[in-house]
Structures are given as structure tokens and as C-alpha cells.
């Protein structure tokens, strides 16, 4: 294996992050700095912020995250399968179809349970 | 021996310097392109609404983006007292840097690519997934209700549409048989993939709109409900970095669409005259067309409601793209026309 092709990517990452650090620092340096109590309070349409912002939130967001993990993992399985399908032939094709079938059954169950509904 | 290793070191240092120069050669024009994209957006929307748009600073208002840049740069950086300060500053930096980093593998023409790695598409997929961190960190660190809710919505939306983009990419990979971006373009020598995979092309374009938080899916920044979403508390250059990151992600998504479906740098027909035009001009022309669609859609369509958005992602695009993976694989296997790269 040859990893020299990844050197430009590494250099790119270093340059990109140092650029964004530079932007942030330089602008903090150039701009004025006159903080006061009102300016530094969280924005709430002109009201005093009256409780912590980290409140309870809808459990559906959590559900979406779990569904995302399931389906994104599936995509991760599909990537190597897709590019080597010509080598693994019909066996590979049918085993993936079986996997997709099982997943589809789960997906239909979620749908019927109303996990995908938003009010 | 000593001299030799010194020589070697110099050689490696020289190589690093040359690569850094190339990197700047990509980043510089990219940032200028981003600047003019903001100008173009205002001009296009103005034209749609029968207005003139920016026309005061410079000829035809061409210097407007730079005036905006200087203004944002010289403003005060406000970090709210209740915020987690380090994460608060880190979030826009991550957003901005990640939107640049993916550009290292994009092939602009047959020979113009910085890093020709064999898993190019996976790299881009990974980087675009990482950009969600910028959003959720910003929303959490701000410690403001609008920012928090905006970030929640934004992340849920981005992960939902990322799944369909994944399936769309798998469809293309089935037709190519390689993860390398150059191979993907060259596999479209005879016909571009948007012809056989037309429904997937549409799904890709719409998911790209949702993935980059663009109208009509710009709910996270729904002004009337959530002020500015996850970057409500940001000001000055920290805000500008989110802004630049969003526009650079738009250009990246358009380039990805061009590579996957519109034949990258290949001319539309294999005629002699078309082949005279250098590849990168075709590439930028196609990217420009997709970018124009982004702006056109924003000027035309009203915003989706959040439940409509999630329904479209999970109940329409996900089954459709999953089904299309099945169709593509079945057709390729049973007509025995699978591409064979490694056999």
C-alpha cells in the first residue's frame, strides 16, 4: 500500500484549520472589544433570558438519530458490496438482498408504529 | 550518511512546500468563488423579483462581497457570558475548515487533482458527515434557546437526508465499480449517469439542498420562528465563517453532483470541437448550472414545514432510493453488464 497520496490531504487539513484559527484570532484582534452585561446575555427577543437553555426536548430527535445510525451503517455495508459485486456474483447479490429484505421489514414496522410521524 | 539524510530532509521539505502552494492555489480561488456566489445569489434573486440588487460598490456592485467581508471582519466578536467559550469559538472553525478540506480530492479535470486517492467518494462522504459537528457544537455551546432548538432541527434534518444521499451514491457506485472519483467520471464516457439514474439525480439535488440547509429546507434559520437558528449568538468573523462554510458546501455539493451524474470534466458530446475546450471549463460550467439551480429554487419556492420536511426525507426519499439500489443491482446482475474493475 502506498500512502503518499494522503500527504496532500494531511497538509490541506493543517492549512484549512490554521486558516480558520487565523481568521478568528485576527478578527478578535482588529475588532473593538467593549463588552457589557446586556450585550453578553443570550438573545431572547429583548427579554431577560429566564432559565437555562438546555431544556428537555422532543424524544423524536433521539429516535431520528437511532434510525440514522441503522441506515447509515447499512450504507456503509453497501459501499464495499457495490464495488465488488462483479467478483462475488449471484451469492453476493442474494445475500445482500436478504439483508435488505430484513431491514425493509424493520422499516415497515417503524413506519406502522408511527416513529416517522412528526406533529 | 549525514549529508544524505540532510538532503533527504530538504527534499521532503521541498515537497511539502510545493503541495502547500497547490493547496493555496485551490483555497484562494475557492474563497473568491464563494464571495462571488453570495453576490450572484443577491443578483439572481433580485432579477427574479424584478429588482436591481447590489449595484453601488464597484462596477455593477461587483465589490459588494468584499465590502461585506471587511465589515464583518472589523466588527466586535461577542461571546455570550453563559456560553461554553472554547466550544463556541471552535464550532465555526470546524464548519469552515471542513467545508474546505473536502476539496482536496475533487478532480477538476483529467490531470488536475490534488490527491487522487482510491476511496475519494468515501472521503467526501465522511467529511460531509463530520460537518454536522460544527452545527451541534454551535447550538449547544451558545446556551441560547433559539440556537439550541435550531441546532437540533438542523442536525435531525442533515442526518435524515444524508441517508438518501448514501443510497444514491451506492447506485452510482454499482454502475462504476470503483470508489475513485476519476474512475466515476471516466465511466460516464458514453453517457452521463443522470440519464439511466434520472430519479436518483433528482433525489440527489433535493437532498443536497436539504444537506446544505438551503431554501426550501432552510428551517434551521427560519427567521420568523427561530431567529437565525444555530448561529443566533454569533457575530463578526465567527458568523462569517459559518456563512463561508455554507456557501463553500454548496459549491462542493454541486461539484459532487457534476462528478456523479453530469460527467465531470467530459464534454457533452464527443465531437472534435467540444474536445478542444479544456476539461476544467466544462467542469466549472456544469457546476455553475447546478449552483444557479440552488439560487433559482431559493428565489422561487416557499419554505417547507418541519413535519413535511421529515416526511419527505424518511417516507419518500429513503424508500425510493433504497428501491432504486435494488433495481440497479438487479438489472446489472441479470443483464450481466456489471462493471469489472479488478477482475
What does the pLDDT look like over A49-99, one tens digit per residue? Answer: 666 767 777 788 888 888 888 888 888 889 999 888 888 888 889 999 999
Give the mean pLDDT of A100-106.
91
pLDDT at site B324: 92
Interface mutation target, options A78, A102, A108, chain B, most CBs of B under 10 Å? A78
Which residues of A are less than 8 Å from B20 in CB distance?
11, 15
Q: Are A1 and B118 in contact (CB under 8 A)?
A: no
Q: Are B335 and A86 in contact (CB under 8 A)?
A: no
Lowest mean pLDDT segment, chosen from A29-33, A72-76, B196-200: A29-33
Cell numbers placing B3: 549529508
SS3 B260: helix
B61 vs B269: CA distance, rounded Å? 37
B295 closest CA partner among B101, B113, B37: B37
- Is residue A34 in some structural domain? yes
Query: Where would I find the H helices in B118-144?
Result: 120-142
Contact A21 B178 (CB under 8 A): no
B214 vs B227: CA distance, rounded Å? 16
* Greatest extent of chain B over all pairs of C-alpha atoms, in Å: 73
- Given a cut of 50, is residue B156 above it in pLDDT? yes
Q: Which stretch of DSSP H or E encloses residue A101?
A: helix A85-113
Residues 6 or more apart from A4 whose CB is under 8 A from it? none
B245 closest CA partner among A17, A99, A49, A70: A17
Cell numbers placing B160: 435524515
- Is residue A118 in some structural domain? no
- Given a cut of 60, is residue B314 above it in pLDDT? yes
Contact A19 B27 (CB under 8 A): yes
Tell me which residue has cell 417547507: B304
- Given a cut of 50, is residue A13 above it in pLDDT? yes
- Is residue A119 in some structural domain? no
Measure A86 CA to nearest chain B CA, in Å. Answer: 6
Option in B75, B80, B163 nearest A68 (CB): B163
pLDDT at site A45: 63
- Is residue A15 in some structural domain? yes
Lowest mean pLDDT segment, chosen from A44-58, B106-120, B127-141, B144-158: A44-58
pLDDT at site A105: 92
Res. B343 pLDDT band, cuts 50 70 90 = very low
Q: Does A21 touch chain B (CB under 8 A)?
A: yes
Give strand ranges (E) for chain B.
Answer: none
Look up the domain containing A47 and give its range. Answer: 4-113
Determine what percent of chain B is predicted with pLDDT higher than 90.
Answer: 16
- Is residue A84 in some structural domain? yes
Residue A100: give its domain's CATH number.
Answer: 1.20.58.1610
**What is this structure's pTM?**
0.89
Which residues of B are less than 8 Å from A26 in CB distance?
73, 237
pLDDT at site B167: 92
Res. B227 pLDDT band, cuts 50 70 90 = low
Query: Where would I find the H helices in B49-78?
Result: 64-73
- Is residue A32 in some structural domain? yes
pLDDT at site A1: 52
Res. B255 pLDDT band, cuts 50 70 90 = very high
- Given a cut of 90, is residue B204 above it in pLDDT? yes
Lowest mean pLDDT segment, chosen from A40-44, B184-188, B302-306: A40-44
Contact A15 B159 (CB under 8 A): no
Counting Cα atoms < 13 Å in the Cβ hemisphere of B119 gives 12
> In total, how many domains does chain A have?
1
- Is residue A12 in some structural domain? yes
B26 vs B115: CA distance, rounded Å? 12
Give one DSSP letter per residue of B162-217, joined into a string: HHHHHHHHHHHHHHH----HHHHHHTTSSS-TTTTTHHHHHHHHHHHHHHTT-TTS
pLDDT at site B170: 92
- Is residue A109 in some structural domain? yes
Give the mean pLDDT of B185-193.
85
Q: Does A101 touch chain B (CB under 8 A)?
A: no
- Given a cut of 70, is residue B221 above it in pLDDT? no
- Range 68-97 of A in CB contact (< 8 A) with B: 68, 71-72, 75, 78-79, 82-87, 90, 93, 96-97
- Total CB pairs under 8 A between chain A and B: 231
B124 vs A93: CA distance, rounded Å? 26
Closest residue in chain A to residue B105, using alpha carbons only:
A9
Measure A72 CA to nearest chain B CA, in Å. Answer: 6
Amino acid at each position: 500500500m502506498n500512502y503518499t497520496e494522503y500527504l496532500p490531504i494531511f497538509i490541506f487539513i493543517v492549512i484549512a484549520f490554521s486558516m480558520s484559527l487565523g481568521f478568528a484570532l485576527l478578527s478578535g484582534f482588529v475588532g473593538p472589544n467593549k463588552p457589557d452585561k446586556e450585550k453578553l446575555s443570550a438573545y431572547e427577543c429583548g427579554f431577560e433570558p429566564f432559565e437555562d437553555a438546555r431544556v428537555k426536548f422532543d424524544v423524536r430527535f433521539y429516535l431520528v438519530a437511532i434510525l440514522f445510525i441503522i441506515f447509515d451503517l447499512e450504507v456503509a455495508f453497501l459501499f464495499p458490496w457495490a464495488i465488488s459485486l462483479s467478483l462475488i456474483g449471484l451469492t453476493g447479490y442474494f445475500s445482500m438482498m436478504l439483508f435488505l429484505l430484513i431491514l425493509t421489514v424493520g422499516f415497515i414496522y417503524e413506519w406502522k408504529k408511527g416513529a416517522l410521524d412528526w406533529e | 550518511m549525514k549529508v544524505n539524510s540532510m538532503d533527504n530532509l530538504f527534499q521532503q521539505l521541498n515537497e511539502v512546500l510545493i503541495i502547500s502552494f497547490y493547496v493555496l492555489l485551490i483555497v484562494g480561488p475557492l474563497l473568491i468563488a464563494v464571495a462571488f456566489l453570495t453576490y450572484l445569489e443577491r443578483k439572481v434573486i433580485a432579477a427574479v423579483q424584478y429588482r436591481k440588487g447590489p449595484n453601488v460598490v464597484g462596477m455593477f456592485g461587483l465589490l459588494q462581497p468584499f465590502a461585506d467581508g471587511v465589515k464583518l471582519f472589523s466588527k466586535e466578536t461577542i461571546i455570550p457570558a453563559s456560553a461554553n467559550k472554547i466550544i463556541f469559538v471552535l464550532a465555526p472553525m470546524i464548519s469552515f475548515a471542513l467545508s474546505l478540506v473536502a476539496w482536496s480530492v475533487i478532480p477538476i479535470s483529467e490531470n488536475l487533482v490534488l490527491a487522487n486517492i482510491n476511496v475519494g467518494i468515501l472521503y467526501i462522504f465522511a467529511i460531509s458527515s463530520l460537518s454536522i459537528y460544527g452545527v451541534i457544537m454551535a447550538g449547544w455551546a451558545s446556551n441560547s434557546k433559539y440556537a439550541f432548538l435550531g441546532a437540533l432541527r438542523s442536525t435531525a434534518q442533515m442526518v435524515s437526508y444524508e441517508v438518501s444521499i448514501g443510497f444514491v451514491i451506492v447506485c452510482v457506485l454499482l454502475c462504476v465499480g470503483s470508489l475513485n472519483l476519476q474512475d466515476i467520471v471516466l465511466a460516464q464516457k458514453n453517457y452521463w449517469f443522470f440519464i439511466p439514474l434520472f430519479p436518483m439525480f433528482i433525489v440527489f439535488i433535493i437532498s443536497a439542498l436539504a444537506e446544505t440547509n438551503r431554501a426550501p429546507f432552510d428551517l434551521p434559520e427560519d427567521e420568523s420562528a427561530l431567529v437565525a437558528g444555530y448561529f443566533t449568538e454569533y457575530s463578526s468573523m465567527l458568523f462569517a465563517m459559518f456563512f463561508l462554510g455554507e456557501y463553500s458546501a454548496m459549491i462542493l455539493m454541486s461539484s459532487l453532483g457534476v462528478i456523479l451524474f453530469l460527467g465531470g470534466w467530459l464534454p457533452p458530446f464527443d465531437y472534435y470541437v467540444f474536445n478542444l475546450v479544456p476539461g476544467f471549463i466544462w467542469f466549472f460550467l456544469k457546476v455553475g448550472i447546478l449552483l444557479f439551480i440552488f439560487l433559482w429554487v431559493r428565489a422561487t419556492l416557499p419554505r417547507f414545514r418541519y413535519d413535511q420536511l421529515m416526511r419527505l426525507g424518511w417516507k419518500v426519499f429513503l424508500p425510493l432510493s433504497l428501491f432504486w439500489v435494488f433495481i440497479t443491482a438487479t438489472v446489472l446482475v441479470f443483464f450481466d453488464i456489471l462493471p469489472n474493475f479488478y477482475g
